[in-house]
Amino acid sequence: MNSVIETILNHRSQRSFLPRPLSEDQIKTIVESAQAASTSSFIQAYSIIGITDPGKKKALAELAGSQTYVEENGHLMVFCADLYRHTLIGELEGQDLEASLDSTEKFMVACIDAALAAQNAAIAAESMGLGICYIGGIRNNLPEVCKVLNTPDRVIPLFGMVFGYPDQVNDKKPRLPFEHVYMEDEYQQSKDRYLEQLKDYNRTTSEYYKERTGGKRSDTWTSQMAHMLSAGRRMYMKTFVQGKGLNKK
Amino acid sequence: MNSVIETILNHRSQRSFLPRPLSEDQIKTIVESAQAASTSSFIQAYSIIGITDPGKKKALAELAGSQTYVEENGHLMVFCADLYRHTLIGELEGQDLEASLDSTEKFMVACIDAALAAQNAAIAAESMGLGICYIGGIRNNLPEVCKVLNTPDRVIPLFGMVFGYPDQVNDKKPRLPFEHVYMEDEYQQSKDRYLEQLKDYNRTTSEYYKERTGGKRSDTWTSQMAHMLSAGRRMYMKTFVQGKGLNKK
């Protein structure tokens, strides 16, 4: 196993950091790594906003559900799907790009582009001995997040990422079984086999929580998911994204 | 610079491969690397389909726009946004998850999850000396791609990825200027400055193409983008995705 794969496989979300900021060099390397990722047809439909202002950091931490690690870390970035740039390209080139920019296809492309860049950022940071955590919580209240970040139309902040020097090492959570996620030639056709795999995985996650909590917790993955999904969180998203001029057509 | 960051910064899309397949071990390591990526609230809303059947590979290559490298490579995988798994979880747990699974929020989560996994796969492969290329072309005709892959509802193939031993090394394309993609504390507010950056970058890309083609080509990035976006490609996507039970509410 080479050191790259070692870094990748060693990932765990880090939610507690030493009070030591990242250096400018580290931030630059992380962003350059993000930019080196593939981008759909070279569209580069994302932006990254680094948060240095303590007031803004505090505001984002509150909006993300009062998670202290969003405020207390070595650095916080917000990754945005961004087709504002391409709106301006329409002006610059005197061409009507509206139908394309309004489309679900281009919204997907922008989400994917931002995520590819972010994952490069995550791996680069982890290779430097830093810990990271994605902050999906900013999607709890995107209208307010957009105000804090002063984003124009066709820019959607998708998630934050916190970086920092870890002050403790977390366990790695067991993922779905390999053969459940990776299939050959077509999608797995046996529903019974599929459900069996989920039940197997439930035993694994249940064991994992039991071990970690000395038996206090033993929830299964499917019960966690059902609980989370039954709540119907962030149901404003469709209207919000369309109001920003994306995912409309 | 450590070897991880070196691998990341050294990325270029590879479209021509030696006729040598990946080993099972390599495929396993790539998928395990994909699975190690972060996932929103542990939802794991993606699947990967590896294509070994030559007929299916040929069919996908044709659907992606007759790109020979989709057929001729060391391995081809298709990364899918996948909430079918969570539809079954609703059954298994006896809970109504439909509103959540229908939502734009969860569609975004599934696209992002698949992209994070894919980028780990890309970096892992490149660290082994393999080349990769994302294949967005499969989105030209997703109804047919879904037939080839036999995917159920709530599964959207987002892109392919080809892997293989490179038979030539491409140049690295220059990315947008750092300060255009990375901002501090808020979105860049000066439209004039923003447009200046685009024009600077146009000079860079124009020079890049001139050098590569001995002066035959000198297009700017904004003209490329305007050309691509004015065509309004894949405008069926919204209806298609909604027809599959995603991005509806």
Q: Between chains, do A124 and B8 touch, taking CB under 8 Å as contact?
A: yes
**In this complex, which of A46, A159, A249 lies closest to B235 when CB atoms are compared?**
A249
Contacts of B226 (CB under 8 A, 6+ apart): A89, A90, A92, A93, A95, A97
pLDDT reading at B169 higher than 90: no
Say which CATH superfamily domain A3-170+233-243 falls into.
NADH Oxidase (3.40.109.10)
Write out pLDDT tens, residues A68-83: 999 999 999 999 999 9
Please give the Cα distance from A120 to A116 (Å, whole number).
Answer: 6
Q: pLDDT-based confidence at A26, cuts 50/70/90?
A: very high
Answer yes or no: CATH 3.40.109.10 is held by domain B3-170+232-243: yes
What residues in A contact B42, CB-CB < 8 Å?
Answer: 173, 221, 224-225
Residues from chain B that touch A132, judged by Cβ atoms under 8 A, are 38
- Where in chain B are all domains bearing CATH 3.40.109.10? 3-170+232-243
- Write out pLDDT tens, residues B54-106: 999 999 999 999 889 999 999 999 999 999 999 999 999 999 999 999 999 99
Spell out the SS3 assignment of chain A. Answer: CCHHHHHHHCCCECCCECCCCCCHHHHHHHHHHHHCCCCHHHCCCEEEEEECCHHHHHHHHHHCCCCHHHHCCCEEEEEEEECHHHHHHHHHHCCCCHHHHHCHHHHHHHHHHHHHHHHHHHHHHHHCCCEEEEEHHHHHHHHHHHHHHCCCCCEEEEEEEEEECECCCCCCCCCCCHHHHEEECCCCCCHHHHHHHHHHHHHHHHHHHHHHHCCCCCCCHHHHHHHHHHCCCCCCHHHHHHHCCCCCC
Chain B residues touching A5 at Cβ < 8 A: 29, 33, 124, 127-128
Query: CA-to-CA distance for A66 and B85, rounded, in angstroms?
Result: 31
For A29-59, write each residue's pLDDT tens digit: 999 999 999 999 999 999 999 999 999 999 9
Residue A210 Cα, gap to closest chain B Cα (Å): 17
Q: Which chain A residues are within 8 Å of B7, Cβ to Cβ?
A: 4
Sequence-distant (≥ 6) Cβ neighbours of residue B46 within 8 angstroms: A181, B79, B80, B81, B82, B110, B113, B114, B117
Q: State whether residue B81 is helix, strand or coil.
A: strand
Distance between CA atoms of B188 and B179, rounded to whole angstroms? 9
Would the pLDDT of B171 be above 90?
A: no
**Confidence band for B116, pLDDT divided at 50, 70 and 90:** very high
Q: What pLDDT does A194 receive?
A: 93
For chain B, give the mean pLDDT: 95
Inspect the interface and report whether the beta carbons of A229 and B123 lie closer than 8 Å: no
Query: What is the helix (H) or strand (E) element at residue B242, kind and residue range?
Result: helix B237-243
CB under 8 A, 24+ apart: contacts of B151-154: B151/A186, B151/A187, B151/B80, B151/B84, B152/A187, B152/B84, B153/B84, B153/B87, B153/B244, B153/B245, B154/B82, B154/B83, B154/B84, B154/B86, B154/B87, B154/B101, B154/B244, B154/B245, B154/B246
The residue in chain B having the minimum alpha-carbon distance to the alpha carbon of residue A82 is B181
Residue A168 has pLDDT above 90, yes or no: no
Given an 8 Å threshold on Cβ–Cβ distance, is B52 in contact with A120? no
Average pLDDT taken over every residue of chain A: 95
Report chain A residues whose CB lies below 8 A from the CB of B248. Answer: 238
- Bridge partners of residue B50, in order along the sequence: A184, B77
Q: Quote the pLDDT of residue A40.
A: 94
For the cut 90, the answer to whether the pLDDT of residue A169 exceeds it is no
Residues of chain A with CATH 3.40.109.10: 3-170+233-243
Whether the CB-CB separation of B100 and B106 falls below 8 Å is answered with yes
**Nearest by Cα to A64 from A158, A170, A168:** A158
Residue of A nearest to B27 (CA): A182
- Compute the distance between CA of residue B139 and CA of residue A100 in angstroms, rounded to an integer: 15
Res. A171 pLDDT band, cuts 50 70 90: confident
Whether the complex's predicted ipTM is more than 0.90 is answered with: yes
- Burial per residue of A171-182, b for 16 or more beta-carbon CB atoms within 10 angstroms, e otherwise: eeeebbeeebbb
Asked if A42's CB is within 8 angstroms of B221's CB, the reply is yes
E strand or H helix that includes residue B54: helix B54-63
